Amino acid sequence: MEAIILAGGLGTRLQSVLKDVPKPMADIHGKPFLWYLLVFLQKGGITKVILSVGYQQTFIKDYFQDSFLGMEIVYSCEEKLLGTGGAIRKALAYTTEKAVMVLNGDTFFNFSIEKLYEIHTKSSSKVTLGLKPMQNFDRYGSVEMTDSVVTMFEEKKFKQHGLINAGAYLMNRDIFGIYDVSKEIFSFEKDFLEKYLSDLRPTAYLCDGYFVDIGIPEDYEKAKKEINDYI
């Protein structure tokens, strides 16, 4: 099983605490955040990981090199920021399996990899999204679903309860094949998922597992206190 981790972002909101280190290399108890993601994937049966890297990529390459805990590590290198969609499309060229997992390099979501594969395999959709129930939030957009199919994405606003896109996908490697995605730089969420939502009919995988996004200093501190409980 193969996975792509998007690890090429600038991490501007964390610069006050990270300085010149890429966000996925944020230190947690002497190990980079990315280390915890890779351990999670290895325990879930993933055998090959494509790291989509850009900003300060040498830090990541020097640390993980070409293998980690028996998993093959491959690098998809962005010469310029391609957005999540451009980065995924570039990284898919390094994959061979029919379905590939995609994760954000600044988010930890404790879900069942086995269950995600099971749901995706049984569906006829080209992509399955991991959705997380959330209470009293305004930092994330929300997602609506009907009969296990994602039907709508809503912009960020305060909600007492709802579902968020947890940034965990299982997608067919030919997902971009029949769609007119000519731009080199684009957002997977805005320019692809939302644009082609009615045709894609993404499958929803609902999971109330532990979730943390280290994109802001407060949640980075939260991850330091909690993440070891889930590895």
Domain 2-230 is classified in which CATH homologous superfamily? Spore Coat Polysaccharide Biosynthesis Protein SpsA; Chain A (3.90.550.10)
Cα–Cα distances in angstroms (integers) from residue 115 to residues 120, 129, 170, 171, 205, in the given order: 9, 12, 11, 14, 8
Instruction: Name the average pLDDT for the chain.
Output: 92
What's the rounded mean pLDDT across residues 77-84? 91
Tell me how far apart the terminal alpha carbons of the chain are, to the nearest angstrom: 20
pLDDT tens for residues 171-200? 999 999 878 777 889 999 999 999 999 999
What is the domain partition of the chain in residue ranges? Answer: 2-230
Give residue 121's pLDDT.
94
The pTM for the full model equals 0.94
pLDDT higher than threshold 90 for residue 47: yes
Give residue 133's pLDDT.
96
**What percent of the chain is modeled with pLDDT above 70?**
96
pLDDT higher than threshold 90 for residue 10: no
CA atoms within 13 A on the CB side of 131: 26
Whether the Cβ atoms of residue 67 and residue 32 lie closer than 8 Å to each other: no
Give residue 178's pLDDT.
77
How far is Cα 217 from Cα 22, in angstroms, rounded to an integer?
14
Whether the Cβ atoms of residue 70 and residue 56 lie closer than 8 Å to each other: no
Cα–Cα distances in angstroms (integers) from residue 167 to residues 61, 67, 90, 140, 146, in the given order: 23, 24, 18, 11, 19
What's the rounded mean pLDDT across residues 104-114? 95
Classify each residue of 103-134 as buried b or exposed e, where b means 16 or more C-beta atoms within 10 Å of its C-beta. Answer: bbbbbbbbbebeebbebbeebebbbbbbbbeb
How far is Cα 106 from Cα 115, in angstroms, rounded to an integer?
22
pLDDT higher than threshold 80 for residue 13: no
pLDDT higher than threshold 90 for residue 21: no
What's the rounded mean pLDDT across residues 144-154? 94
Least confident of 17-26, 31-40, 111-120, 138-147: 17-26
